[in-house]
Structure 1
């Protein structure tokens, strides 16, 4: 009996469980259709979580684009005053609260710089180094898509 108890204790002690604070730090998104990936850094501010774009893997407009060779800006933003701001530095995901019962971050939003739209969003851990990020048209999350983001160490 002692051996079984010791074995169970060893198994559970080696498993890693994600904690709320594990979201803080740098994460990289899946590749977009154009091959770009966004590096996001999460921070906790006043009990809410925000993820700021800190880097793009393709930071300048490519050949053939009307802004070829220039740093990417928030061109698709519906607010005329924001169309010229740099994408690096904006809150890409914002306003999340952590729900310990569901072990996920909820009631947040994700901004799509490709079309200038903001969607409802929830985030959960697949494991300590992988996030499942679900953006949706509806608050309940039925109509949308998800991405897998990886932790950058």
Structure 2
């Protein structure tokens, strides 16, 4: 019985550890209303996790937009100094810490480049290749929405 308990403990701690490391890499978001998807690349700095916009599936403004054909920039950003920066390369999700007890990433934020607003966010794994990303107006996550992001190999 002791051996079984030890085996279970080692297996569980290995799975938890691998979940934390598993977030690093590239993930693709659900499609936005305009059909665009964002490829987010997660990385770690000083025990915090961030995700920058690596690629946009629709990288230029569509026909009829005042910037038609130009590379998408952070037009909706409330900071006038950031409105002209390209969207590719900005931190889209930021400041997450990993909570091993809940097996999720917490206390982070997600930026919506369509409206220039930043929301509270948590991220958990549905499985090793699927993230559940929940953005919310409140820190507890009661008022918000969630998306499913898929790992890119």
Aligned to 1:66: 66
Query: Which deviations, in whole Å up to 9, do the C-alpha atoms of 1:10-46 show, x marking residues without a partner?
Result: xx9xxx7752000000000000000000000000100
Aligned to 1:132: 132
CA distance in 1, matches of 2:59, 2:142: 32
User: What's the TM-score once normalised by structure 1's chain length?
Assistant: 0.89
Number of aligned residue pairs: 141
Map of 1:93-104 to 2, 5 A cutoff? 93-104=93-104
Query: Which deviations, in whole Å up to 9, do the C-alpha atoms of 1:61-104 show, x marking residues without a partner?
Result: 00000000000000000000000000000000000000000000
SS of match in other structure, 1:68: coil
CA distance in 2, matches of 1:24, 1:67: 33
CA distance in 2, matches of 1:22, 1:150: 12
CA distance in 2, matches of 1:21, 1:44: 9
CA distance in 2, matches of 1:19, 1:70: 38
Map of 1:70-149 to 2, 5 A cutoff? 70-149=70-149
CA distance in 2, matches of 1:54, 1:19: 22
Query: Which deviations, in whole Å up to 9, do the C-alpha atoms of 1:104-134 show, x marking residues without a partner?
Result: 0000000000000000000000000000000
User: What's the TM-score once normalised by structure 2's chain length?
Assistant: 0.89
The CA RMSD measured in Å over matched residues stands at 1.5
Asked if 1 retains the 8 angstrom alpha-carbon contact of 2:39 and 2:54, the reply is: yes
Which one has a bigger Cα radius of gyration?
1
Aligned to 1:24: 24
Aligned to 2:57: 57
Query: Shift in Å at residue 52 of structure 1?
Result: 0.4
Residue segments in structure 1 that go unaligned for 5+ positions in a row: none
